[in-house]
Amino acid sequence: MNSSRIVILLFVAILFSLTGCLESSFQLSDDSRLPKWFVVPEGKNRNDFSVQMDLHSTFSGGKNVFKMYEKGTFFPIQEYTITSDMQPNIYCQQLKSPPKGFPKGYPCYIAITINGIADIIELRKMEPFFYVTDNPVIWREFGAKK
């Protein structure tokens, strides 16, 4: 193997270790409220924004990236990254007694705290959407405080 191939492979390995590999991407359902850590600019409301959640695997674990966009724009107006020593989908947890009527393994939940503000993400089925839950039963079970 010549030295230029080694340099390219080393560059790709370093890039992967810094950015990770995108595992999955979800859009916040239009039926859901915004996560509490996003600040809505004055004069705007929930319907003016979309939120994307990307789950990445990295060599050291995983990261969740939340981006809020003003609808019709390409660049996020707010962005938060949460890193973890676990792979991103591993900590999506089910309730001890899951409700009936959902596919096996769902709904599942991810408790997230950003800047001291807790919220719980809900995945209802294998689909590209996520929700934010205010259900007090779920909050109690995951030990999160509103």
- Number of folded domains in the chain? 1
pLDDT of residue 46: 93
pLDDT for 5 equals: 67
The whole-angstrom separation of Cα 127 and Cα 110 is: 16
Residue 1 located in a structural domain: no
Which pLDDT score, from 0 to 100, does residue 96 have? 87
Q: Could you tell me if residue 8 is inside a domain?
A: no
Answer whether residue 102 is part of any domain.
yes
Q: What is the mean pLDDT of each run of 10 residues along the chain (146 residues)?
A: 64 56 89 94 94 83 88 92 63 84 91 89 94 93 74
Residue 84's pLDDT is 67
Expressed as residue numbers, the domain containing 93 is: 21-37+45-141
pLDDT at 81: 87
- Exposure string over 37-56, b if 16+ CB within 10 A, otherwise e: bbeeeeeeeeeebbbbbbbb
**What is the per-residue pLDDT for 113?**
87
**Domain-embedded: residue 12:** no
Residue 15 lies in a domain: no
* Degrees, nearest 5: CA angle 28-34-35: 100
Kindly give the residue spans of alpha helices, DSSP state H, lying in the chain. Answer: 3-19, 136-141
The answer as to whether 13 is a domain residue is no
Q: How far is the C-alpha of 101 from the C-alpha of 35, rounded, in Å?
A: 25
